[in-house]
Structure 1
Amino acid sequence: MKKLIGLFCILCWSLVLIAQKAVPVKPRILISTDIGGTDPDDNQSMIHFLMYSNLFNTEGLISSPSYGHGTKQNLLEMIALYEKDLPKLEKHAEGFPSPDALRAICKQGKQGAAPFAGVTKTTEGSSWIVTCARKKSTQPLWVLVWGGLDDLAQALHDAPDIRKHIKVYWIGGPNKKWSANSYAYIVANFPDLWFIEDNSSYYGFFSTKGMPDSVNTTNYYDQHMAGAGNMGKDFKNYYGGNVKMGDTPSLLYMMDGNPNDPAKESWGGSFSTFNHSPRMLFNRNTTLADTVTVCSLLEFHIKGPVVNIPADSACFSLNVKAGIGEQKWAGYYLGKGNYVVRYAPKQAETISYTITSSIPGFTELAGQFVVDNSWPGKERKTDYKLGPNWFTDRSDPDLYDGNIQGGITIKKWRKEVLMDWAKRWAWLR
């Protein structure tokens, strides 16, 4: 009888172990966001994060505005809303972090884009990335980047050893424009990094093509958020309540299945490896005969006057004219009459530009080029070579959402995602 009881206990213990292995471990995450900058979708994504924060071990919330005027205060304001709604959330689930615990891990990162070198000075945010990455843990630190890469690049520069302890999911695309220099620093110096570069798949989350009314991002607010707590009230302030949340796929990726396998089907997309990051160099004016790859790094190298200013000083501008209007990008002096500026086109279109400077003797340049819609495109000698753990949007034709590469890998799950979120909104009513 004792033997039977002993066998039964062993069997039960084995089943417990199996069950424990089947339960996903809370991932360690750190979010770098440009919240408070030019695009309020970060506020929307932050609300989504806070409502699901019981699913993560959150180690950092960093304000990293490569462009715009976002600060740590924008994070604190969102946490204040969460604090008001937390009692209702805790009635339905355990494990939500305390507001004070979240406030303690809010850090200020770099404000403004890095110079041509890609790195400058250590910030509170970049230092915190290093601190978190160096913690003893059997898990990696997942760095979810919702904006520019400036603080991540600085952290890697200051502490190259952390490359072995972090995994990155970056919402790229337009964000690559704002942090072209820090991106170049990372791919040139850390090609062995574990890195998901989501340049377009994330668009699938807010695409409205062929979606049923129940998950149409333009009416989701009225159906599920209106009257749902302080965060629901605040959500109306961003895009009138229309759901964009272009950064949320990075969170969704951590919530569904095994994040160590980018090729898997998941709420946050499915990705494939690629071994080269497109980089094109020009030392002349371009014309419409020049076609470049979407999301590639373009470098315009220019010979000009020899001047007595520090190397890597911003001293001229690339003025880009496209469908979005005109934007200006800083160019830098490398010394000995050499000037350079980087640019990353975010979509297929025809672009016109001028290059101007107030430096006496600097000749104004003008040109055009065509951007095609195939990422990463054919390999060139000037491309950055990548290691085996760099992943990006799938190029399968049947996974395009219109002209959005890989968009279907996220769009296909949106109903499931939004209906799951609707349950949490109901908790706040």
Structure 2
Amino acid sequence: MSGRVRTIVTADPELDDLNSLLRLLLYTNEVDLQGLVYASSRFHWRGDGAGTTFFLPDREYAEPQTSWRWAPGERFIHDAVEAYAQAYPNLAVHDDRYPSPDALRGIIRFGNVDFEGDMSADTPGSRLIAEALLDDDPRPVHIQLWAGPATLARALRSIEERYAETRAWPQVRASVSRRAIVTKFASQDGTYDDYILPVWPDIRVTEAAAMAWGYLIRETIRD
């Protein structure tokens, strides 16, 4: 795997994310896919299952909601991997680098999906990202934010909380900032502007959007 790009994808239940994921899985022979993470955004969040309501102004809803556009038992990433499993025998004939369906199932995690921008607690998805940024693999970690940045923000905050009061913090912060390469589609929650940019200003971020079906094309790179 050493010559292949490491990447982690975070996505919400938007149809464009599902379509992009199905396409990505057909190229998993070319990349080292290390995480498929359910994420939230201003357009999709699960709620905490306890009836807690949430509201932010200028959203698609006009009053507090317990969840927003998140189907009960949502599993679109799992479903995409199951579709891949059906095609896998044929894909493997052409390239034995395609990961097994079980390998892909093993990297699916739920991130910070309860509410838009919620980074209050660690989640399986945030831990997966943090562990990748701290491991001994020298390759950069390309983190694709197809949804909001909250799960990445929680991963970075957990690293900060672990090391900020130690002598290792400057070295850890520099290493993580150097290794993380983030691509995001706009700011689908407030955690990039409120936390990631002020605390981790040296992380390379590419913002990409596209004028297709109503989306604005824009690509900017911040080093």
Aligned match of 2:184:
170
**Whole-angstrom distance in 1 between the partners of 2:221 and 2:128:** 30
The structure-2 alpha-carbon separation of the partners of 1:72 and 1:57, relative to structure 1 and needing over 3 Å to count, comes to: farther
**Residue 187 (structure 1) aligned with residue 197 (structure 2):** yes
Tell me by how many angstroms 1:271 deviates. 4.5
Say if 2:82 and 2:101, in contact at 8 Å, map to a contact too: yes
**Whole-angstrom distance in 1 between the partners of 2:196 and 2:221:** 19
**Whole-angstrom distance in 2 between the partners of 1:91 and 1:135:** 32
1:144-223 residue pairs with structure 2 within 5 A? Answer: 144-160=144-160, 161=172, 162-172=176-186, 176=187, 178-198=188-208, 200=209, 202-203=210-211, 206=212
Aligned match of 2:98:
96
The one of 21, 24, 33 equivalent to 1:49 is 24
Off by >4 Å, runs of 4+ in structure 1: 269-273
**Residue 25 (structure 1) aligned with residue 26 (structure 2):** no
**Whole-angstrom distance in 2 between the partners of 1:272 and 1:131:** 25
* Matched letter for residue 114 of structure 1: G
RMSD, matched Cα: 2.5
The structure-2 alpha-carbon separation of the partners of 1:76 and 1:189, relative to structure 1 and needing over 3 Å to count, comes to: same
Percent identical among aligned pairs is 23
Aligned match of 2:134:
134
Count of aligned residue pairs for this structure pair: 179
Tell me by how many angstroms 1:153 deviates. 0.5
Gaps of 5+ in 2: 45-68, 161-171
1:17-416 residue pairs with structure 2 within 5 A? Answer: 25-34=3-12, 36=13, 39-66=14-41, 67=44, 68-69=69-70, 73-111=75-113, 112-114=115-117, 119-160=119-160, 161=172, 162-172=176-186, 176=187, 178-198=188-208, 200=209, 202-203=210-211, 206=212, 271-273=220-222, 389=223
Say if 1:114 and 1:120, in contact at 8 Å, map to a contact too: no
**Whole-angstrom distance in 2 between the partners of 1:146 and 1:110:** 14
**Whole-angstrom distance in 1 between the partners of 2:146 and 2:23:** 13
Say if 1:26 and 1:57, in contact at 8 Å, map to a contact too: yes
TM-score, normalising length from structure 1?
0.39
Larger gyration radius, structure 1 or structure 2: 1
Secondary structure of the residue aligned to 2:96 is: coil
Say if 2:8 and 2:34, in contact at 8 Å, map to a contact too: yes
Tell me by how many angstroms 1:170 deviates. 0.9
Aligned match of 1:354:
none
TM-score, normalising length from structure 2?
0.72
